[in-house]
Amino acid sequence: MDILRKIARYREEEERLRWEGTFAEYLEILKEKPWVAQSAHSRVYNMIKDAGVEEVNGRKRYKFFSQHLFGLEEALERLVEEYFHPAAKRLDVRKRILLLMGPVGGGKSTLVTLLKRGLEEYSKTERGAVYAIKGCPMHEDPLHLIPHHLRDDFYREYGIRIEGELSPLNMMRLEKEYGGRIEDVMVERIFFSENRRVGIGTFSPSDPKSQDIADLTGSIDFSTIAEYGSESDPRAYRFDGELNKANRGIMEFQEMLKCDEKFLWHLLSLTQEGNFKAGRFALISADELIVAHTNETEYRSFISNKKNEALHSRIIVMPIPYNLRVSEEERIYEKMIRESDVADVHIAPHTLRIAAMFTILTRLKESKRPDVDLLKKMRLYDGEMIEGFNEVDVEELKKEHPDEGMSGIDPRYVINRISACIIRKEVPSINALDVLRSLKEGLDQHPSISKEDRERYLNFISLVRKEYDEIAKQEVQKAFVYSYEESAKTLMDNYLDNVEAYCNKTKLRDPLTGEEMNPDEKLMRSIEEQIGISENAKKAFREEILIRISAYARKGQKFDYNSHERLREAIQKKLFADLKDIVKITTSTKTPDEQQLKKINEVVARLIDEYGYNSTSANELLRYVGSLLNR
């Protein structure tokens, strides 16, 4: 019954927020809270800003979007700073249609849905409160009641600019219902709702021959003409088009460029002058943010048509490309799986990362730099540190292809293939190899992939498979090495003794015979070579480790196995190289002996407890790595 209590509380909260009063009482509210009179663009900008802004790597990240859109920080920062912010300041940019352009599945619809759902919630807060003339089908701004000759005085007193004319319906109501007494006109607080058609509209084009302009601007109610006597009586008109209902909020124009021209001309007047023509009335004022979305092909076709030139200058195009960061792509898949009915299926570690690597590779363009291949570029974009590269290099790489991310594989395709893989396997566990196999099979069925792209994508699957082979070996290596933790500690202590003697130019004493001996160069190099330390670089590496040991000693801390990341990696790799034969035997023997079985069980337990595998995926990983080592 807890859900019913929550519903009751929600209803009570809505009742508490309701307000109704005269225009005179509304002016008292404005004196205390002048932001109540903000424009639609300003409301959207403040909604995004009030959710919180943080700086990450010199870029603004808006918390409003951060839980739903991943890897689009640059596009979103541009959208907010170049469109919403100046539009909120009443600059000319607010007189433009916002057109989001990007590839299929890139997040355009999600972005618009976020804005609509966000406005619904924001209108219930104090900062986002919206008031309208009571009973008005267009939820008209009460300030339109102020006559033109008094608007300068009003600005001096309240600091609020008034734009727009009183609608024909409210002009008639003011005379007939209130006897011209503006102060008595009833005002109410409204709450945006797409379902109730308050402040949020959505227009979707259909067959141009059957779609009526009334869908946008409303229509005459013929049943009332006998009562009111004329088609030009505003009471005989239904102000129920999407442009009417979206007043004060946001109007989504789906697939705008597929629309018939007669629907687009209404937007010219609305964007530039803030009004549109409906029925046999004067122009009707509307304050709304118009956002449309399209793909690149349709946009190119649209601008190449000379008949559309008048609209070109009224549109601000914001590219919304695909995400180009592996870690963010992984988050997209996690979110999509969480929201599906397969959320209970075990997905082995690295599976989604491997799928994300493939997807990102399909979206990247070859660099002009000879020292940057696609894999390196993918890592740099994901924030990995690569020797010889810095932030400036990454920014230069991004500038090489301004349209990078506008093509490639979309997230929906990947999720479809993951779903197909889950259904086909009939085991509540899938791994990276299952997904790569499914992605490969799906390329034949993908309708929009050319033969040339298919060959390229197959090559990417092979590249990513090699990446996974390395990850799988490292994973098993770590699990085996941790089972030999004592061995790792002994090997490291031995290495550090030799490094100390080498750097201080002293000798070591044999613990058994007591005789003096030179540092064991062979042992030190066998460890350093595991992480690519060259002969020329060995002295600097050893001195760096000695400095690190001294720094720990000064702070009274103990230098241990986890104190130097690269040294730990070298020790792990050296141990694993020595253990390879044991791994081969224990993972590939069909009838392991008791000792081997014990070792396998230890490693499986560690993979499950510490690395996120389950019994099925851990055993599959061991078998696969065993087969790799036996090749």
Question: Does the pTM exceed 0.85?
Answer: no
What one-character DSSP code corresponds to residue 530? G
The answer to whether residue 166 scores a pLDDT higher than 80 is yes
Query: What is the rounded average pLDDT for all residues in the chain?
Result: 87
Q: Give the architecture-level CATH label for domain 1-317.
A: 3-Layer(aba) Sandwich (3.40)
Higher pLDDT, 262 or 598: 598
The answer to whether residue 169 scores a pLDDT higher than 80 is yes
Q: How far is CA 458 from CA 410, 441, 443, 463, in A?
A: 16, 10, 8, 9
The answer to whether residue 492 scores a pLDDT higher than 70 is yes
pLDDT band of 631, cuts 50, 70, 90: low
Q: What integer pLDDT is reported at residue 131 of this predicted model?
A: 96
Q: What integer pLDDT is reported at residue 584 of this predicted model?
A: 67
Least confident of 93-97, 188-192, 263-267, 579-583: 579-583
Summarize pLDDT for 34-45 with one digit per residue, the tens. 999 999 999 999
CA distance 35 to 622: 63
pLDDT band of 281, cuts 50, 70, 90: confident
State whether residue 478 is helix, strand or coil.
helix
| Amino acid residing at 279 | G
What one-character DSSP code corresponds to residue 484? T
pLDDT band of 493, cuts 50, 70, 90: confident
Summarize pLDDT for 563-573 with one digit per residue, the tens. 888 888 888 88
Summarize pLDDT for 180-199 with one digit per residue, the tens. 999 999 999 999 999 999 99
pLDDT band of 440, cuts 50, 70, 90: very high
CA distance 115 to 108: 11
DSSP letters, 135-172, are T-TT---GGGGS-GGGHHHHHHHH-----S---HHHHH
CA distance 573 to 531: 8
Q: What is the rounded (10 degree) CA torsion for 333, 386, 378, 437?
A: -70
Q: Are strands 186-190 and 200-203 parallel, antiparallel or unpaired?
A: unpaired
Q: Which of 581, 587, 599, 590 is nearest to 623 (CA)?
A: 587
Q: What integer pLDDT is reported at residue 583 of this predicted model?
A: 67
Question: Residue ranges per domain, the chain?
Answer: 1-317, 324-448, 471-628
The answer to whether residue 595 scores a pLDDT higher than 80 is no
Share of the chain above pLDDT 70, in %: 94
Residue entry with tokens 């995004």: 48
Summarize pLDDT for 296-328 with one digit per residue, the tens. 888 888 888 777 777 787 889 999 999 999 999
